[in-house]
Chains A and B, each alone.
Chain A
Amino acid sequence: MIDVKLVSKAKEVSQVISAIDLSWRNYVENLKENIFTLPFRGNYSFFTEDSMVLVEGYCGPLLIDKLYHNHKTYLLKSAISHDPYRIYGMYDNKGRFDCFVARPEIGFHFMGMNNHGHSICTGDIEFTPPSSLDSVKEVAERIIQSFRVINMESLGSVILPANHERLRAIIDNRDEGMGRRVEKLMSEGLIEPIL
């Protein structure tokens, strides 16, 4: 009731006050957007990228030296390596886990491009959203181990350095069946069966 009375007696607000009010609201909203909540306590490295927090879970060498297709494991004649390679758990600015990402992005098991680059397709690696540095590290360790094998039966976005262009061109040729691509890799001497 009092609200109705107040509204009926209220004078039209001045444009100056409206402008100040809008400016203040925009400032507060902008501030909210730029406030980051750390996902958990602890002593760890992280950085922010756009509106996301990236927590480092692995820093060390990347090695990709095997290929799996149709129940067979092959060796890459020329292994792919990069050092240092980093895997991060990515959290939004409210501290909620989003996905794992890698910097630089090198590998065969990335999801499609989104607003934050390519997230890692974790496939058979089962985990709950990491809520501590130890759990980020533990999952990142399993990811780096699984990255050693190119799984032709669950291939994601392929991102490779320029010196592995031929390998990338064959493996990422979506016009050909997987069997044909593996045959090509064999005939061009890029892979050999481990047994």
Chain B
Amino acid sequence: MNVNELGNNKVTVNITGEKVEVHASDPVKETLKKILQEKGIDSFTILVDGEEVVSTNDLPEQFADHDIEVKRYVKAG
């Protein structure tokens, strides 16, 4: 059980410093896509268990047992 897991089978993910609750069994890719779209975050990086995602294969299927964080990037140029 991950430290961020809540009693009702929910977990929190860190979205650019804000804690957001999701179901542990939610699909990571679709859920993050939806949350980021709602918040208007389009330039970002994802950390899974403290490691930055460098390939989409690094994304777990579900949130359970993982610490997931999204950090915003300032765009260059």
Contact = CB atoms under 8 A, between A and B. Distances in A.
Nearest to B40: A71
Interface in B22-37: 29, 32-33, 36
A154 B75 contact: yes
Given A194-B53, A195-B33, A145 B73 contact: yes
A146 B74 contact: yes
A121 B76 contact: yes
A109 B54 CA distance: 22
Q: Is the interface of B mostly helix, strand, loop or mixed?
A: loop
Contacts of A148: 45, 73
B56 A68 contact: no
Nearest to B34: A195
Interface size of A as a range = 20 to 34
Contact of A194 (B56, B75, B76, B77): B56
Contact of B77 (A66, A142, A151): A151
Nearest to B73: A149
Top 6 A-B residue pairs of the complex, sorted by shortest distance between their CB atoms: A154-B77, A146-B76, A71-B42, A109-B77, A151-B77, A151-B75
Interface of B: 29, 32-33, 36, 42-46, 53-56, 59, 73-77
24 contacts: A73-B44, A73-B73, A75-B53, A75-B54, A75-B55, A75-B56, A121-B77, A124-B74, A125-B76, A142-B74, A145-B74, A146-B74, A148-B45, A149-B43, A149-B76, A151-B77, A153-B77, A154-B75, A156-B77, A193-B56, A194-B44, A194-B46, A195-B29, A195-B33
